[in-house]
Amino acid sequence: MTALSIQNLKKTYGNGFEALKGVDLEVECGDFFALLGPNGAGKSTLIGIISSLVNKTSGKVRVFDHDLDTDRVAAKTCIGAVPQEINFNQFETCFSVVLNQAGYYGIPRKLAKQRTEQCLRQVELWDKRDTVSRRLSGGMKRRLMIARAMVHSPRLLILDEPTAGVDIEIRRSMWEMMQEVNKQGTTIILTTHYLEEAESLCRNIAIINNGEIVEKSAMHQLLGRMHTDHFVLDVGRSLTGAPAIAGYQIELVSERCLEVAVPKSLGLNRLFQELSARQIEVLSLRNKSNRLEQLFLDLVQ
Amino acid sequence: MNYSVAFSTILIKEIRRFTRIWPQTLLPPAITTALYFLIFGKLIGDRIGLVHGIRYMDYIVPGIILMSVISHSYSNVVSSFYSTKFQRHIEELLVAPVPNYVILSGYVCGGIARGVLVGLVVAAISMIFTDTRILHWDIVAAVFVLTATLFALAGFINAVFADSFDDISIIPNFILTPLSYLGGVFYSVEMLPGIWQKVAQGNPILYMINAFRYGMIGVSDVQIQIAFAMTAGFILLLASLSLYLLHKGIGIKN
């Protein structure tokens, strides 16, 4: 069963800008799906249409087989959305923000209070339940939006850059939480600018650019397409030029630092042997960029 | 889905909003009313004498009460719905399966609640200065609620079209307040020169104030059937327009 099915979705804004030019997309039930794209590619418009925040120009959107036009209530009930920007009442307490959202989904007060407690505990905000939401830190505000989106137990959770501006520790804990939610059966669609986040969490990926899907595949298949890895090496002695090793493209970044393009067919062992033969000791090694980042740039440029 | 839960959530949120800030929402009308009675009723009113055979102080009570109902039901919805748009938490409602009529009724009933509560506060203050007795409770209650409904709807439409905080104060300041003052709050239209009597009859607030005055003290410059018909007609018109705006997402969706 598909959690989300989009057919020929188009959106043209009043000023004539075509944000979506006929998007087709399917997300399987239970998937952890990444939707990536550069700024202005159409991600937020697409998510806005699915979440009923933006009117589409044409096309079909079905959520768990419920048409968003003709079976609106059932379709909307399946969706929980965490937008990019803070959009809760900043004068309400955290508890009220989540409780009110439960009410909008028709959950009776008593049950809504239980669900609110459960969701606030899940995002580790229970201690802040009586705090006015504007007093929360940036990371807490994002977690509050996630709690709010989960209060009606949606089958499809859409997260639009949920970890933007959040420190590493909180980001990691949010990753764990999202993985846990996904394990429990909730389909997740994630947009993010942190490509290592998409690589770590998501099983399938779509890349959107200029209002069109330019790539859609399983994450491992996409990463498998990479033929070359780029590494940065710190070396033990000063160099005046980049060593020439057949098959490897090497550049001297600074006296004690090299940047190497390593073809997968050759690997790292041979590189280390060749460097060692030239009395160049490798002190440390790191990826130049995230692997997905390299592919992403290739696809959108 | 249980829409009554969604409706009560919006309504409770709205009532909590204006009761939480009661020094801004409930106290000022009480002070203003007391000043009206002191200045217009006591100091000036004693020199005016009787209007339609009724003491001037008693004559202005219905108009002052209804003027408060009008301005507060309007301002509650316009400020609340606009700030909902401004802070973008309107999105909480748009993503949820809440039908447009539930959103509209929630906000409008919030406006009615504040209008009625302020009306009761003003009525209580007026009892200190006058000994007015209500003649027709049914008419008073009906005008009270219908007027609050009409102006809550008007406030909603204003909020939908508003793009800035300036936009939500223009209509109350430049249209609503003048129409209320010219709607016979402090005088009978019969006291106006001929041509101005005709002009005044184009003011819908005149009909509501006079229907309310009839319900309270039994005098009116207009037929109350016309007043009820006009108010009901305007409510239907504004409710339809509000639902259309919500359906199209005008002012609230990209």
How sure is the predictor about A63, in pLDDT bands with cuts at 50, 70 and 90? very high
Chain A positions touching B93 (Cβ under 8 A) are 104
Q: Residues 1-30, chain B: which have Cβ within 8 Å of A?
A: 1-3, 5-6, 8-10, 13
Question: Does the beta carbon of B52 lie under 8 angstroms from any beta carbon of chain A?
Answer: no
Domain ranges of chain B: 3-248
> What pLDDT shows up at residue A301?
64
Whether A291 has a pLDDT exceeding 70, the answer reads no
Phi and psi angles of residue A194, each rounded to the nearest 5 degrees, phi first? -90, 100
How sure is the predictor about B54, in pLDDT bands with cuts at 50, 70 and 90? confident
Question: Does the beta carbon of A287 lie under 8 angstroms from any beta carbon of chain B?
Answer: no
Closest-CA distance of chain A to residue B157, Å: 19
- A117, two tokens: 């407690």
- CATH for the A228-300 domain, from 3.30.70.1560, 1.10.10.10, 3.30.450.20, 2.60.40.420: 3.30.70.1560
Question: Does the beta carbon of A52 lie under 8 angstroms from any beta carbon of chain B?
Answer: yes
Distance between CA A172 and CA A37 in Å, rounded?
22
pLDDT tens track for B212-227: 999 999 988 888 999 9
Q: How many inter-chain contacts (A to B, CB under 8 Å) are there?
A: 77
Whether A116 has a pLDDT exceeding 80, the answer reads yes
Query: Closest partner residue to A53 among B1, B5, B95, by Cβ?
Result: B95
Closest-CA distance of chain A to residue B100, Å: 12
- B182, two tokens: 């010219």
Residue, of B105 and A265, whose pLDDT is higher: B105
Share of chain A above pLDDT 90, in %: 71
> What pLDDT shows up at residue B36?
84
Share of chain A above pLDDT 70, in %: 96
Q: Where in chain A is the domain with CATH 3.40.50.300?
A: 2-224
Share of chain B above pLDDT 70, in %: 100
Whether A295 has a pLDDT exceeding 80, the answer reads no
Whether A138 has a pLDDT exceeding 80, the answer reads yes
Q: Where in chain A is the domain with CATH 3.30.70.1560?
A: 228-300
Q: Which residue of A has its CA nearest to B2?
A: A106
How sure is the predictor about B157, in pLDDT bands with cuts at 50, 70 and 90? very high
Q: Which residue of B has its CA nearest to A148?
A: B92
The answer to whether the Cβ–Cβ distance between B87 and A53 falls below 8 Å is no
Residue, of A149 and A14, whose pLDDT is higher: A149
The answer to whether the Cβ–Cβ distance between B93 and A51 falls below 8 Å is no
Chain B positions touching A51 (Cβ under 8 A) are 91, 94-95
> What pLDDT shows up at residue A134?
94
Whether A289 has a pLDDT exceeding 70, the answer reads no
Residue, of A267 and A224, whose pLDDT is higher: A267
Closest-CA distance of chain A to residue B16, Å: 10
pLDDT tens track for B109-135: 999 999 999 999 999 998 888 888 889
Q: State yes or no: ipTM above 0.90.
A: no
> What pLDDT shows up at residue B186?
84
Chain B positions touching A87 (Cβ under 8 A) are 87-89, 91-92
Whether A294 has a pLDDT exceeding 80, the answer reads no
Whether A290 has a pLDDT exceeding 70, the answer reads no
Phi and psi angles of residue B63, each rounded to the nearest 5 degrees, phi first? -60, -40
What CATH number belongs to A2-224? 3.40.50.300
On average, the pLDDT of chain A sits at 91
> What pLDDT shows up at residue B84?
94
> What pLDDT shows up at residue B70?
94
The answer to whether the Cβ–Cβ distance between A107 and B5 falls below 8 Å is yes
pLDDT tens track for A193-223: 877 788 889 999 999 999 999 989 898 887 7
**Who's near B24: CB < 8 A, 6+ residues apart?**
none
Question: Does the beta carbon of A90 lie under 8 angstroms from any beta carbon of chain B?
Answer: yes
> What pLDDT shows up at residue A4?
96
**Who's near A163: CB < 8 A, 6+ residues apart?**
A142, A170, A171, A174, A175, A192, A194, A197
The answer to whether the Cβ–Cβ distance between A73 and B97 falls below 8 Å is yes
Q: What is the mean pLDDT of residues B178-191?
A: 85
Closest-CA distance of chain B to residue A77, Å: 6
Question: Does the beta carbon of A111 lie under 8 angstroms from any beta carbon of chain B?
Answer: no
pLDDT tens track for B15-32: 999 999 999 888 998 898
How sure is the predictor about B53, in pLDDT bands with cuts at 50, 70 and 90? confident
Whether B230 has a pLDDT exceeding 80, the answer reads yes
pLDDT tens track for A161-180: 888 877 888 888 889 999 99
Q: What is the mean pLDDT of residues B92-105?
A: 96
Lowest mean pLDDT among A55-69, A184-198, B62-76, B104-118: A184-198
